[in-house]
Amino acid sequence: MADAVPGASVPLRLALVAGEASGDVLAAQLLRGLQARWPGLRAAGIGGEALQAAGFEAWWPSEKLAVRGYVEVLRHYREIVGIRRRLRERLLAQRPTLFMGIDAPDFNLALEADLRAAGIPTVHFVAPAIWAWRPERVALIRRACDHVLCIFPFEPALLAEHGIAATYVGHPLAAVIPDEPNRAGARQRIGVDDALALVALLPGSRRAEIAHLLPRFLQAAARMRRDRPDIRFVLPAVPALEPAIRAQVAGSDVADAVTVLRGDAHTALAACDATLVASGTATLEAALFKRPMVIAYHMHPLSWWLTQRKRLQPWVGLPNILAQAFLVPELLQDAATPEALARETLAWLADDAAARARRAQVVARFVELHAALRRDTVGLTVQALEPLLARGGRP
C-alpha cells in the first residue's frame, strides 16, 4: 500500500499533540512532508490552524494547552489533566500506528509514557532542553520515548549518554525561511513604506503572555515613537487571541502606528528592521530571518521564582543559548520595563558606525546559525520513523 510501510498491514494513523502556536507550525510542516512520503497517512489529536490546514483532525485546539508558568498552569490544571486523560483513553482504544508529541513536554511526556507502556510507539519532536533547565526530566524521557527528534546538533550525543535514542533532524523552519528574506515584498503586503523604521512586536502566543507582555510592549512602542515619530510597528496576532490583542492595541497610545496581522509572524519578521520578542521559539525564527532583536519575558512572580531555581544557563533566548553568548539583549521580569525595552530596541535602529557594525556582526552569526540548522528534516524524520511505523500500534 502507498500509505503503509513494510510490515504494516493497515493505513498509517498518526496521533499528534502540538500544544501551542509554534509547535503547531512545526508539526504542520512535518506532517505535509510525511503525507508526501505516505499519501494515505491520517493524523488526529491536538492541533491548531496550521495543522488543520494540512488535513489534521483536531479533537482539541492547541490553545487549550498554551499555558506557561507554574501559577498559570495551576489555574488550568484540572482542565489540562482532564484533556490528557480523555485523549489517553481514546488513543489506547483506537491504537494509532505511532504517537508524536510536538514539544509541550509537561503534557506530552507523561502521555507518551503511558502509551509506550501499552505498546504504542512514541516519538518526541523537539528534545526537552535538559541542557538548559530541569535536568531531572531525563528519567521520564527515557521511559516515555522510543525516539527523540532533535532540532539542535549537540542534543543526540547528550541524550545518548542517558540511553535515549535520538536523531538530529535540523530545524524545519531553517529549510522554509529563505537566506535573504524579501523585506520589500513583505512591507508591500502589509502596506508599510519601505523608508520607515519598522519594529515587529511578538509578545507570544499564550493568553498569559498577552496579559503580561503585550501592555509592556505597547508602552515601549509609545516611548519609541516619542523619540522617533516616524517609527511603525507590526504585530502578528495568534488567531485565537486576536480579539484580545486588537482590543489592547486600540486602547494604547500607538493604535494608529500598529498594524495587527492575523497570524503571519513570518511576514512581520521579513518586513521589520528589528523585533521586540518574547522568549521562546519566535526568537529563533527572528534569528533565521536575520533580524536584530530584544528578547523579553515577564510572568507571575511565583512562576518566575520557581523557574529561576531550575535554570542551568545564564541565557534564556535560543539565539544566545546556541551562541553561548549574549548576542542580543535579554530583559527579563523586573528588567523588562517599557523604558528599557524601548531603549534597547532603538539601539538596534541607530544610524551610526558602531550600531551598523553591531548589526552586521549579529547578522553574520545568524547566517552561520541558519546554515547549521538547515537539514532535510522530513527525510531524516522519515528514516527515524520507518522502523517504528513498521512495528505499528500493535500490543
E strands in the chain: 13-18, 42-47, 57-61, 98-102, 122-125, 147-150, 166-168, 198-202, 232-237, 258-262, 274-278, 293-297, 330-332
Q: Is residue 311 part of a domain?
A: yes
Q: Give 305-342 pLDDT, tens digit per residue.
A: 556 555 545 778 889 988 889 999 999 988 999 999 99
> Which of 271, 356, 370 lies closest to 318, judged by CA?
370
Give the contacts of 86 (CB within 8 A, at least 6 positions apart). none
Q: Is the pLDDT of residue 1 over 50?
A: no
> Which CATH number belongs to the domain containing residue 214 in this structure?
3.40.50.2000
40 with 148, same domain: the answer is: yes
Q: Is the pLDDT of residue 214 over 60?
A: yes
245 with 351, same domain: the answer is: yes
Q: Is residue 332 part of a domain?
A: yes
104 with 201, same domain: the answer is: no
Look at the chain and report how many structural domains it folds into.
Answer: 2
Handedness of CA 371, 372, 373, 378 (dihedral sign): positive
364 with 328, same domain: the answer is: yes
Instruction: Give the whole-angstrom CA distance, residue 23 versus residue 286.
Output: 16
Q: Is residue 226 part of a domain?
A: yes
109 with 199, same domain: the answer is: no
Q: Give 33-68 pLDDT, tens digit per residue.
A: 889 888 889 999 999 999 999 999 999 998 877 655
Q: Are 17 and 107 in contact (CB under 8 A)?
A: yes
Please state, in angstroms and as integers, the Cα–Cα distance from residue 393 to each residue in 89, 93, 380, following that order: 14, 11, 21
Q: What pLDDT score was predicted for residue 336?
A: 92
Q: Is residue 6 part of a domain?
A: no
Q: Is residue 279 part of a domain?
A: yes
Show the domain range for 340. 176-373
Give the contacts of 215 (CB within 8 A, at least 6 positions apart). 248
Instruction: Give the whole-angstrom CA distance, residue 63 versus residue 47.
Output: 8
Q: What pLDDT score was predicted for residue 118?
A: 96
Instruction: Give the whole-angstrom CA distance, residue 312 versus residue 292.
Output: 25
Instruction: Give the whole-angstrom CA distance, residue 345 versus residue 220.
Output: 9
Q: Give 100-111 pLDDT, tens digit per residue.
A: 999 889 899 999
